[in-house]
Amino acid sequence: MSRPVYIPEGYKSALSLRETQHAIKFIKDTFQQALSFALTLDRVTAPLIVRSGSGINDDLNGVERKVGFDLLEDTANVEVVQSLAKWKRMALYRYGYNVGEGIFTDMNAIRRDDSMDNVHSIYVDQWDWEKVISREQRNVEFLKETVRAIVKAVVYTKRQVTLRYPMLDAKICEEPYFITAQELLDKYPDKTAKERERLITQEKKTVFLMQIGKMLKNGERHDGRAPDYDDWELNGDILVWDEVLQDSLEISSMGIRVDKTSLASQLKEAGAEERMQYDYHKMISEETLPLTIGGGIGQSRLCMLLLEKAHIGEVQVSVWPEDMLATCREKGVKML
């Protein structure tokens, strides 16, 4: 089900369709080089499909339906990935990566149950990255240090975009403001989670909202997170103020991953202890898999932000509801 599309009054893209396609490539080339340098990451190849029942696919909030199908020459069923959170950690182990080293990849996914609007699509494209860390680095300060490095890569890319396309001159705050979901609730107790995000990002411009997934004092969670990849005490979302939409835009979800203790605790809290049957979960419990930090950075979201677009369909080729397409045509928004 789609949500109402919002096109600002008088909005017009600064770039033509052809210029937009050139700019998308420029952003992707520039940012992934900056990210690789900032976090010491190798680019690797990643799967689009995995076997059903393997425990490798991301369960997101645990309710989203996966896109699956059978194979002509195999009895197994397979499913399109929803993210690569678990696969990346397994890959670091299999490929022999050491502390301080990591990987990134293009992740393409289908999330059939996502609502579609200005910033949401059923087609997900992001840079998924993962890095081996030491036990001593499993702390908030190292998490913040990593967030700052990612934001610097975003700001650097924006500067390069503005040099090439001077008409795109919106600024991005380079210093993120750090706040936990509970602190944000305490600050705006009468607002919804999304309203709280909008208010704090409007004020601070670049925000890292921490501890997503854990239960808050009001008996609710700020947002859902699967219990078996992020440590809910050591994760968060990077939010940036979008000048075009005048709203908060999440460009990354990331965190230090669960160890054996936090995995057991979070599976119990989520009522998902049956997942311990999978190899991935057993390897964490047995401390076979390395300790890691990782996340995803939305490619189309970043392009939308840096190219000052009003709809994600202006930087991504996907399928949209007919009423949404009609609204965009009426408002002069040219979808790819």
Catalytic entry in 32, 82, 83, 111: 111
pLDDT for 297 equals 95
Catalytic entry in 32, 252, 253, 316: 253
Q: In what order do the strands lie in the sheet with 49-51?
A: 49-51, 74-80, 68-71
Per the CB < 8 A criterion, the answer to whether 328 and 311 are in contact is: yes
- Active site annotation includes 126: yes
- Active site annotation includes 250: yes
User: 123 is written with which tokens?
Assistant: 């087609």
- Active site annotation includes 253: yes
Read off φ and ψ for residue 252, nearest 5 degrees: -155, 140
Catalytic entry in 228, 230, 237, 242: 237
Rg of the Cα trace of the chain?
A: 20
Residues of the chain short of pLDDT 70, as ranges, are 1-3, 58-63
pLDDT for 186 equals 96
Which has the closest alpha carbon to 76: 36, 115, 110, 49?
49
pLDDT for 223 equals 87
> At a CB cut-off of 8 Å and minimum separation 6, what does 262 contact?
231, 232, 233
Instruction: Locate the domains of the chain by residue range.
Output: 17-324
Domain 17-324 homologous superfamily, CATH: Bira Bifunctional Protein; Domain 2 (3.30.930.10)
Per the CB < 8 A criterion, the answer to whether 259 and 89 are in contact is: no
Q: What is the pLDDT of residues 292-336, one digit of tens each?
A: 999 999 999 999 999 999 999 999 998 888 888 888 888 888 988
Catalytic entry in 13, 36, 58, 125: 58
Catalytic entry in 174, 243, 250, 269: 250
CA distances from 106 to 88, 103, 207 (A): 12, 11, 25
- Active site annotation includes 58: yes
